[in-house]
Amino acid sequence: MSKIIVNTDNAPAAVGTYSQGVGVNGTFYFSGQIGIDPSSQELHPSFSAQLSQIMKNIDGLLLSQNLNRENIVKTSIFLTDLNNFAEVNQAYIEYFKAPYPARSTVEVSKLPKGSLVEIEVIAVK
């Protein structure tokens, strides 16, 4: 099996012992993104700003592998407050075009660095 390890400055550097993403046989598994600005490595303070930055980070990961949003087949969304689901859903509608990727959304007690939302994606070439 041949693996491609994703390493790009267009998304935040890994904050632990993991890769930004791994590609195997044309499928890319991207690590969860939180609202960290890759240029400053700082987490945005508000939910809306974090969500917006996450979408930019995902775009940066995709771009690094010559992919785009249409290549995304699955997203997993982690929220510290499920009451923010409507805002996430609105961002999802603005970010993607129908037919939408598969999606899971769950509420969790905590996320890295005190983030309010984390999104991971799987994309296929």
Q: How confident is the model at residue 39 (pLDDT cuts 50, 70, 90)?
A: very high
Question: What phi and psi, each to the nearest 5 degrees, are found at residue 47?
Answer: -60, -50
Average pLDDT over the chain reads 96
Per DSSP, the three-state class of 75 is strand
pLDDT at position 1 is 82
Contacts of range 36-42, beta carbons closer than 8 Å, 24 or more positions apart: 36/12, 36/113, 37/12, 38/9, 38/10, 38/11, 38/12, 38/13, 41/12, 41/13
Q: Which domain holds residue 60?
A: 3-124
Q: Output the pTM of the full model.
A: 0.95
Q: What is the CATH number of the domain that holds 108?
A: 3.30.1330.40
Question: How many structural domains compose the chain?
Answer: 1
